[in-house]
Amino acid sequence: MGDEMKSTHTAWRDVISQYCTTIMMAQKREEFSDHEIDMFQNVADDFHIKQIVLHGHEGITNYIYMVGAGHITHYIHVHHNLYKFLQQGWESLNLKIKALYFCST
């Protein structure tokens, strides 16, 4: 493996690690303090910049844009927690209801 390929591989691993940290922070169940909100945006900014350097603007999806533009941070400021808006519980309940309906009718 050439030095350039190793460097790119290491850079992508760093971006992925930064993304995972950003998402884990956003999924915090407790309310954010003002300091934690600022820390979240700093981590999100680091991820966003590294991702653009590696992939360019063509690689920006709606979700990556929301992280980099500060929209997620804005909602954390307003609501102090995004976990309460998570829809996984409803989706799970939907699957159970569909299974019951289609198996019983």
Across the chain, mean pLDDT equals 84
Count helices and strands in the chain by DSSP H and E runs: 5, 0
Question: Whole-model pTM above 0.85?
Answer: no
Q: What is the pLDDT of residue 58?
A: 81
Residue pLDDT, tens place only, 17-34: 999 999 899 888 899 999
Between 66 and 94, whose confidence is greater?
66
Q: What's the rounded Cα separation, in Å, for the pair 3 and 103?
A: 57
Model confidence at 89: pLDDT above 70 = no
- For residues 32-48, one letter each, b for 16 or more C-beta atoms within 10 angstroms of the residue's C-beta and e for the rest, the string is beeeebeebbebbbebb
Q: What's the rounded Cα separation, in Å, for the pair 52 and 41?
A: 16
Q: What is the pLDDT of residue 98?
A: 76
Model confidence at 91: pLDDT above 80 = no
